[in-house]
Chain A
Amino acid sequence: MARAAVRGRLTGRLAWQVATVAGVREETATARTIVLTAPGFAGNLAGQHLDVRLTAEDGYTAERSYSIASAPGEPLEITVQRLDEGEVSPYLAGELRPGDELEVRGPIGGYFVWDAADAASPLLLAAGGSGIVPFRSILRHRAQLPGTAAPARLLYSARSADDVIYRSELDRGEPGLAVTYALTRRQPPGWTGHAGRVDDALLGQVAWPAGQDPLAFVCGPTSFVEAVAAGLTGLGYRPARVKTERYGGTGGR
């Protein structure tokens, strides 16, 4: 049943449409959630993304993709991490105001998606930086479902505590969800959690044993995703059970 509903959302024409900024919410000093009103938007699955297009007065256009932070049925939200050298993110995470219009296309994606049919498998979510965004959608959708999903673990790598997006939501906790942070550059005084990048040792501690047939999602910079996916393969995870979404960045392949 769930699969049929899923398939229905993945076919059909995908057109650019105008969305209006209904509100903004500063998540960290450099990341902002943008709430959008898009009358033609058909709703999204957890894990999908939105393409966003900007047009300057001289006709110049720039396009980027942003993961959807909202769960199915919730008002459409994306979270944008400002990249200092970026062309689009400083605008979206800075200048953009409620009432402004954006062109959006979506929702996009049928692979990097979590739905009710996946709820029976122990879930591992590994996020590097802004890779946490689609996992907010997934975790909120998981909490929407009736019944009890199999337990989930979130491994979230961020530069510092100040860079953790959705911190208060994650701190509120959720039944059946354990969160582990890796703070790679700066740690607060008295930090007893992992300092430095996610390594195979940390992964080995946090990941579900492969024998439990877990499902893993890994999202973030390409170098982060490649390292974690390789680590999970080393722990015995079957490739078809490790879903990846690479955001690019420097380094990596």
Chain B
Amino acid sequence: MSPVSRGFHGRRRAEDAAPGRVPPGQYVTEDFPVLSAGPTPHVALADWTFSVRQGGEELRSWTWDELRALPAEEITADIHCVTRWSKLDTSWRGVPVEALLEAAGREAGYLLAFCDGGYTTNLPAADVTDGQAWLAYEYDGEPLEPEHGGPARLLVPHLYFWKSAKWVRGLELLDTDEPGFWETYGYHMYGDPWREQRYAGD
């Protein structure tokens, strides 16, 4: 048995901070920690595209200028990272993912987001509709910084933040739920912070 370290408390407990807004096992931070699995990719906006693909076919793609021309929304959301930090009332600007999928004109049950640097993550299509997900390109009123996923990242606040893929370049439409990068190694396929779905089997 590990001895208890007298006087050690770890991070401030969630109950002190914002009762009811913080999922189980999380603590609130004022910072915005930068967590990565690799070096920050850098892409020129002139070279950037976002595409919706299915079965090896590109259904629709947007250049940076085309993305910026789409109707966008201001979003305020609480975000929850599986490494246990939560940040409340973060503000973003982005295009609803739903609009991008509608423009692509096809439907599928599942999505796999793919990103510069090779990262992937999976989501049910039902979780990116009805004001649940955005392609976000501004944070806190400024262009999204590269270390936080800029030029554009997914924003899916109702799931653990590993699903809000940084440096996203597109969505693959799939008929089955395929594990992305962390999901392959044992993280939960869905990732609901309120049911504490951190790992497969939770």
Write out, one digit per residue, whether chain A residues 43-69 have a CB within 8 A of any chain B CB (1) or not (0): 000000000011111001110000000
How close is B110's CB to chain A, nearest CB, in angstroms?
A: 34
Q: Of A16, A85, A101, A253, which one neighbours B5 at CB under 8 angstroms? A: A101
How close is B144's CB to chain A, nearest CB, in angstroms?
A: 19
Tell me what chain B mostly uses at the interface: helix, strand, loop, or mixed.
Answer: loop
> What is the interface residue range for chain B against chain A?
10 to 19
Bound complex: CA of A18 vs CA of B5, how far in Å? 11
CB–CB A55/B6 < 8 A = no
Take A87-B11, A253-B39 as given contacts and tell me if A100 and B6 are in contact as well, using a CB distance cutoff of 8 Å.
yes
How close is B169's CB to chain A, nearest CB, in angstroms?
A: 22
Q: Of B8, B11, B31, B39, which one neighbours A55 at CB under 8 angstroms? A: B8
CB–CB B7/A55 < 8 A = no
Tell me what chain A mostly uses at the interface: helix, strand, loop, or mixed.
Answer: mixed
Q: Which residues of A contact B6 (CB under 8 A)?
A: 100-101
Q: Of B3, B7, B10, which one neighbours A62 at CB under 8 angstroms? A: B10
How close is A90's CB to chain B, nearest CB, in angstroms?
A: 10
Q: Which residues of B contact A95 (CB under 8 A)?
A: 7-8
CB–CB B9/A55 < 8 A = no
Q: Which residues of A contact B2 (CB under 8 A)?
A: 16, 53, 55, 61, 103
* Chain A stretch 94-114: residues in CB contact (< 8 A) with chain B: 95-96, 100-103
Q: Which residues of A contact B3 (CB under 8 A)?
A: 18, 55, 101, 103
CB–CB B39/A57 < 8 A = no
Q: Which residues of B contact A18 (CB under 8 A)?
A: 3
* Chain A stretch 141-196: residues in CB contact (< 8 A) with chain B: none
Q: Which residues of A contact B9 (CB under 8 A)?
A: 56
Q: Of B5, B31, B39, which one neighbours A54 at CB under 8 angstroms? A: B5
CB–CB A56/B8 < 8 A = yes
* Residue B44 is within 8 A (CB to CB) of chain A in the complex: no
CB–CB B4/A91 < 8 A = no
Q: Which residues of A contact B8 (CB under 8 A)?
A: 54-56, 62, 91, 95
CB closest chain-A residue, reference B29: A85
Bound complex: CA of A101 vs CA of B7, how far in Å? 11
Listed in ascending order, the chain B residues whose CB lies under 8 Å from chain A are 2-11, 31, 39
User: Can you show 16 pairs from A to B with CB atoms below 8 A apart?
Assistant: A53-B2, A54-B5, A54-B8, A54-B10, A55-B2, A55-B3, A55-B5, A55-B8, A62-B8, A87-B11, A100-B7, A101-B5, A101-B6, A102-B5, A103-B2, A103-B3
9 more contacts with CB within 8 A, not counting A55-B2, A100-B5, are: A18-B3, A54-B5, A54-B10, A56-B5, A56-B8, A56-B10, A91-B8, A102-B5, A103-B2
A-B CB proximity, top 5 nearest: A54-B5, A95-B7, A55-B2, A60-B10, A54-B8
